[in-house]
A and B are shown apart, each in its own frame.
Chain A
């Protein structure tokens, strides 16, 4: 369980990091918190010849107000997302999700950009990015581009990132004030990757009916999915137990999970049904409600 030999680079600035990525491209990997890449290196699932360590690039560790968007640097650690007051206020769904990542010690090192690039289909932050419609900011020595998280995430551990590019930031649309939200996941052991995860936000009109809903599911396919057609059905309804049960059934019907020797598709579908219904009630403020 020791990594294969590599050459280590510790750039002093982002531009220096981008130059190194341009020079070593296919042979190089940028190293963030190392909480996913570290195990892959130790198990020799990854054997890059060059590691470009981003950990000391404080210019990539920030939370900043960018108009209607909250821009978060790629090197921002999960623990900060889980605890920063401005995230709690402007992106409560992100705060809820970040608190469930791995374990306390893992969250101290793991980074937002790293999680997006690693693109585990069950990971929390890609799901939140897709659900909220976040934009991924990608840079190389050639320039900068920005693309929706849903396009960035292509398949299992596969993203739209060239060999010389680094994810420098993610831009999240600020959540509406008073918007209810819920994040839930199910795993067999605490801290493991989820079998199914659910992210949900909800706005209500003056009469208390649902005026806008976002519903994202993780673990049900190669990438996290937002269920626009299911969301639309709930608009105009009161977020009560009946609506929650219907939403759960629609979500379960909208997915086609793969059969897996340990997780039958029917089991995953039932998890989606139960957890989606529960998430709606939780977002409506009926904490602990079961459907």
Chain B
């Protein structure tokens, strides 16, 4: 029974049928079976945050989840955040504020804060830094990421009001 099993996943609104052993991490299934390589894999034990995706809208580590667990749940990955060529306000702000250098951590940060800014549309800088502590970035020193997230929150609030 640890042999490969059929798994049906709903990712970004599309249904995928695949066969994988139960021990296969969701992060590996997304990348290797579904070819959704925007989800990055760093530490594989939940610390670095690079593989963060949304499970039923909530940010979660794909490396601490097995694909087999996700039947009946809705998954959202970085591939679904932009609409065509239009970046989300958060992605746009990261671009404008130079909130990334190598970009390895960026997908995880975007997924975490797409969810968090819905939860808390008007965060303080301290709150942003608290949440951002779950995503490691080895390039930027975080300053520009924090600036970008606060800017994105403002843009999103204004968009709501308009």
B-contacting residues of A (Cβ < 8 Å)? 1-8, 10, 31, 34-35, 38-39, 42-43, 51, 53, 55-56, 79, 102-106, 108-109, 189-191
Contact = CB atoms under 8 A, between A and B. Distances in A.
**Chain A, interface SS category:** loop
Contact of B2 (A6, A31, A53, A79): A6
Nearest to A99: B130
B45 A42 contact: yes
B103 interface: no
26 contacts: A1-B63, A2-B23, A2-B25, A2-B44, A5-B2, A8-B1, A8-B5, A8-B66, A8-B68, A8-B69, A10-B69, A10-B71, A31-B69, A38-B45, A38-B46, A38-B63, A43-B45, A53-B69, A103-B49, A103-B135, A104-B134, A105-B112, A106-B61, A108-B55, A109-B55, A189-B133
Nearest to B28: A2
A243 B21 CA distance: 60
Contact of A109 (B21, B23, B60, B72): B60
Contacts of A106: 46, 61, 134
B23 A102 contact: no
A39 to B, nearest CB: 4
B23 A35 contact: no
A35 B72 contact: no
Given A53-B69, A190-B130, A108 B22 contact: no
B65 A38 contact: yes
Contacts of A39: 45-46, 64
Contact of B61 (A4, A53, A109, A189): A109
B2 A105 contact: no
Nearest to A190: B133
Given A1-B44, A8-B68, A109-B60, 13 more contacts: A2-B28, A3-B23, A4-B23, A5-B22, A7-B2, A8-B22, A10-B69, A35-B64, A56-B72, A103-B134, A105-B52, A108-B60, A109-B64
Interface of B: 1-2, 5, 21-25, 28, 43-46, 49, 52, 55, 58-61, 63-66, 68-69, 71-72, 112, 116, 130-131, 133-135
Contacts of A6: 2, 22-23
A108 B72 contact: no
A35 B46 contact: yes
Nearest to A100: B130
Contacts of B131: 103-104
Nearest to A8: B22
Contacts of B130: 104, 190
A79 B115 CA distance: 13
Contacts of A2: 23-25, 28, 44
Given A38-B45, A191-B133, A105 B61 contact: yes
